[in-house]
Chains A and B, each alone.
Chain A
Amino acid sequence: MLGLSVDRLRADMNRLLALLFHQGVLDEQFLQLQQLQDESSPNFVSEVVNIYFHESEKLLRNLRGLLVDKEFSDYKKMGIHLNQFMGSSSSIGAQRVRNVCVAFRAASEQNNRAGCLRALELLEYEYCYLKNKLHELFQIEQQRILAAGVRYPQQQQPNNP
Chain B
Amino acid sequence: MGCEMETDQTEDMDVVLSSMWPEDINEAGRQFNVERPGADQDMLEEVTINKEPNIVDFKRLMELTNYSDKGNWQLANLIKNWEYKQENAVRLLREELDNLSKQQQEVELKKLEILEEHRFEQDGYGGDKRPISILDENLKYLYQDAPRRRNDVVFEDEKVEIEAEFDSVVYWKQRAVHLEKLLEASIKREQVLIEKLQESIENLERQSSPVEELSQVLKRADNFLHFVLQNAPVVIGHQDKELRYRFIFNHFPSLGEQDIIGKTDVEIFSGAGVKESQDFKREVLERGLPAKREITFETELFGSKTFLIYVEPVFSKAGETIGVNYMGMEVTDQVRKREKMAKLREEMAVQKAKETELNKTIHITEESMRAKQMLATMSHEIRSPLSGVVESGVMKLEATKFRPREVVKHVLQTAAASLQKLLTLEGNVADDVPVEVIGDVLRIRQILTNLVSNAIKFTHEGKVGINLYVVQEPSTIAKQGSQKLDRDTTKELPMSESQDDQNGRDENSTCENHKLSNGAQVEEEKETNRKTEEQVVWIRCDVYDTGIGIPENAIPTLFKKYMQVGADTARKYGGTGLGLAICKQLVELMGGHLTVSSVEHHGSTFTFVLPYKVSSISDSSDDPDELSDSDHQDVLGDGNDDDLHSGVFVFQPRTLGTLFSSQSSTRIQKLTPNSYAFNKCNGLLLEDSLSPSSNITYKETRSDEDANSAAGPMETSYELEISDNLSSAEKHEKSVPNTDLVGRFHPYVHPSNSLRAKHNVDENLETCVTYQGQAQAQARTDGISSECSSSNSPEIPKGDLKPKILLVDDNKINVMVTKSMMKQLGHNIDVVHNGAEAVRAVQSNNYHLVLMDVCMPVMDGLEATRLIRSYEETGSWDDAIKAGVDIQLPSPDSQSNSQLEKTRKRIPIIAMTANALSESADECYANGMDSFVSKPITFQNMKQCLQQYLP
Contacts and interface: CB of A to CB of B under 8 A. Distances in A.
Which has the most chain B C-beta neighbours within 10 Å: A35, A47, A91?
A: A91
Given A38-B657, A38-B658, A91 B821 contact: no
Contacts of B939: 32, 35
A18 B369 CA distance: 10
Contacts of B656: 38-39
A79 to B, nearest CB: 9
Contacts of A35: 658-660, 824, 939
Contacts of A19: 358, 361-362
B857 interface: yes
A2 to B, nearest CB: 17
B816 A32 contact: no
Interface stretch (A62-70, A80-88, A116-124, A145-153): A80-88
A39 B366 CA distance: 27
B510 to A, nearest CB: 23
A87 B813 contact: yes
Given A18-B362, A87-B811, A87-B814, A32 B658 contact: no
A152 to B, nearest CB: 13
A84 B916 CA distance: 13
Interface in B924-951: 935-939
Interface in A1-41: 14-15, 18-19, 22, 28-29, 32-33, 35-41
A107 to B, nearest CB: 14
Given A38-B657, A40-B655, A48-B813, A29 B936 contact: yes
A15 B655 contact: no
Contacts of B857: 80
B653 to A, nearest CB: 11
B914 interface: yes
B366 A90 contact: no
B821 A102 contact: no
B129 interface: no
A55 B812 contact: yes
A76 to B, nearest CB: 12
A87 B817 contact: no
Interface string B331-342: 000000000000
Nearest to A49: B813
Nearest to A83: B855
Contacts of B659: 35
A41 B660 CA distance: 13
Interface string B770-814: 000000000000000000000000000000000000000011111
A52 interface: yes
A86 B365 contact: no
Which label, helix, strand, loop or mixed, suits the secondary structure of the A interface? Answer: helix
B679 interface: no
B813 A51 contact: yes
B937 to A, nearest CB: 7
Contacts of A33: 817
Contacts of B938: 28-29, 32
B820 A88 contact: no
Nearest to A27: B936
A98 B916 CA distance: 10
A120 to B, nearest CB: 18
Contacts of B813: 48, 51-52, 55, 87-88, 91-92
Contacts of A91: 811, 813-814, 817, 935-937
Which has the most chain A C-beta neighbours within 10 Å: B362, B814, B817, B935?
A: B817
Nearest to B361: A22
Interface in A105-151: none
A47 B813 CA distance: 10
A72 B939 CA distance: 42
B318 interface: no
B597 interface: no
A73 to B, nearest CB: 19
A27 B857 CA distance: 28
Contacts of B821: 32, 36
Contact of A38 (B358, B814, B824, B936): B824
21 contacts: A22-B361, A29-B936, A32-B817, A32-B938, A35-B658, A35-B660, A36-B658, A39-B656, A39-B657, A40-B655, A41-B820, A51-B816, A84-B810, A84-B811, A87-B814, A87-B935, A88-B813, A91-B814, A91-B817, A93-B936, A98-B916
Q: What 3 A-B pairs have minimum CB-CB distances, sorted nearest first?
A: A38-B657, A88-B813, A36-B820
Given A39-B657, A87-B914, 6 more contacts: A15-B366, A22-B365, A35-B939, A38-B655, A90-B935, A91-B814
